[in-house]
Amino acid sequence: MVDPHGEYGSALNRDAAVRSVLGNGNSALRVPYWALPAGDLLSVLSGVDTRTAADKFRDLVLKARRDFAVKADWLNLSPEDITPDTPIPYNIRTVWHEYDFANRAVVDTKASGLPCVEDAGDSAKLLPARFTPYGPGGAAPFKGTTYGLYTPAPERIHLRLRDPRFAFFLDVPDPNEEDPLATIVAEWLGERQAISVLDFSGVPAEVADVTIGIVLDTLFELSVRSATGDGIGRDRPVLIVLEEAHRYLGDSNTTGLARTAVNRIAREGRKYGIGVCLVSQRPSELPETALSQCGTIVALRLTNAADQATVRNALPDAIAGLTSVLPSLRTGEALISGEAVLLPTRATLRRPNPEPQGSDPSLASWRSAPPGKASLRQAIRAWRGMIEGSP
């Protein structure tokens, strides 16, 4: 289950493995940036997709992937077979440092001169190189041949790398450890438990779109390539439940990675043993491609006309008229249609026990709340820690 608000960990804690962005050690949720193709990662980190900037970034990522492959004893892959999009790890900090170096280098002569470096910087500490200022009026030293050519991509990547909200996503792998992708996917799937909860609470919408997209795309690719009796897929089916799906599948997202991955799973996942369950209060904001492939629809009370129309259009024509009851359904009542039931059904659903933290607070708790000024120091510290932390 993909849980963007941290509601289900407490409800499923006895039966599920819970991984959280804010967790530590065995409870930490990891998402590998290096599973993304180089061009997609550049778009995510910088929003820049110009041909010149993208080509240079892809070249640096290719070099970094090949360098990692040489150091990793567990990776039996020839460097010549590696592309910028091969899902093997690399050090994004090293890539940024070389990218920034090429974009700001000052040289001693105009024709292929040597860089005039005053301080080489430190990629691990995210310190850029420092150069001798270029001379005024065409005097030495001179701007390098690629000076400013990739702006603003290196600067924006630097800001992302320093942003603590991206820390769980931009963790640099160690080539001396065993295959991190196998370990990370096993963590996602819960290893020993049948249910796993991936808690993305506290992650901004643009980051959630990217990281959830990586999770979905990785699981799909592994399902496609898993052999019979091994891996995941038809022998070990995976159902991905996307809570608050409209939050990261809507048209307003900056990258659309999650949306693209969901549509792909909805169209092709059935034959590979991987499925998706979309949970949303706003079905009108969900992708039409994914909705058209839904085998079962469970619709609770809906009062918005656009949402009612979306559910009506997703149902067979013969029973579309049943949607007229949607505004009058009681709490816990649902209209169910599709492969899960023999006939379209209006049913009362059992309430979960224990309930998720997203359940409604009671009026009694509001009435009994103690008067006085609320202490907000801890909440403010937590908020500032997300945006002002050091790398």
330-363 in b/e form (b: 16+ CB < 10 A) is eeebbbbbeeeeeeeeeeeeeeeeeebeeeeeee
- Asked if the 2-33+166-348 domain carries CATH number 3.40.50.300, the reply is yes
* Residue reference for tokens 């991206």: 166
- How confident is the model at residue 231, as a pLDDT? 82
**Checking phi first, is residue 148 left (phi over 0); if not, alpha (psi -120 to 50) or beta?**
left
Find out whether 287 and 263 touch, Cβ atoms under 8 Å: yes
Chain position carrying tokens 């929003």: 47
End-to-end, the C-alpha distance of the chain in Å comes to 29
How far is 244 from 241, CA to CA, in rounded Å?
Answer: 10
List, by residue range, all CATH 3.40.50.300 domains of the chain.
Answer: 2-33+166-348
- Which residues have C-beta within 8 Å of that of residue 36, sequence separation ≥ 6? 44, 210, 214, 257
* pTM: predicted TM-score of the whole model, two decimal places: 0.84
- Tokens found for residue 54: 């993208």
Residue 203: per-residue pLDDT: 81
Give the pLDDT of residue 125: 95
Q: At what angle do helices 38-46 and 51-71 cross, to 10 degrees?
A: 120
49 within 8 A of 156, measured Cβ to Cβ: no
Tokens found for residue 284: 């009108």
Q: Are 316 and 280 in contact (CB under 8 A)?
A: no
- pLDDT confidence of residue 385: 58
List phi, psi (to 5°) of 104.
-125, 10
Distance CA 207, CA 169 (A): 9
Given a contact cutoff of 8 angstroms between Cβ atoms, the answer to whether 54 and 100 are in contact is no
What is the C-alpha radius of gyration for the chain, rounded to an integer number of angstroms?
A: 25
135: Cβ contacts below 8 Å, ≥ 6 apart:
141, 142
In the three-class reduction of DSSP (H, G, I as helix; E, B as strand; rest coil), residue 29 is classed as: coil
- CA dist., res. 225 & res. 21, Å (int): 28
Q: How many angstroms separate the CA atoms of 71 and 75, rounded?
A: 9
Write the DSSP symbol of residue 122: B
What pLDDT digit, counting tens, does each position of 63-99 carry? 999 999 999 988 888 888 999 999 999 999 999 999 9
Below-50 pLDDT ranges, the chain: 387-391
347 DSSP β-pair partners: 334
82-92 b/e (C-beta count within 10 Å ≥ 16 → b) = bebbbebbbbb
Give the length of the chain: 391
Q: Tell me which residue of 315, 311, 254, 325 sits closest to 283, measured CA to CA.
A: 311
Contact 32, 173 (CB under 8 A): yes
CB 190 within 8 A of CB 219: no
Using alpha carbons, select from 320, 351, 17 the residue that is nearest to residue 195. 17
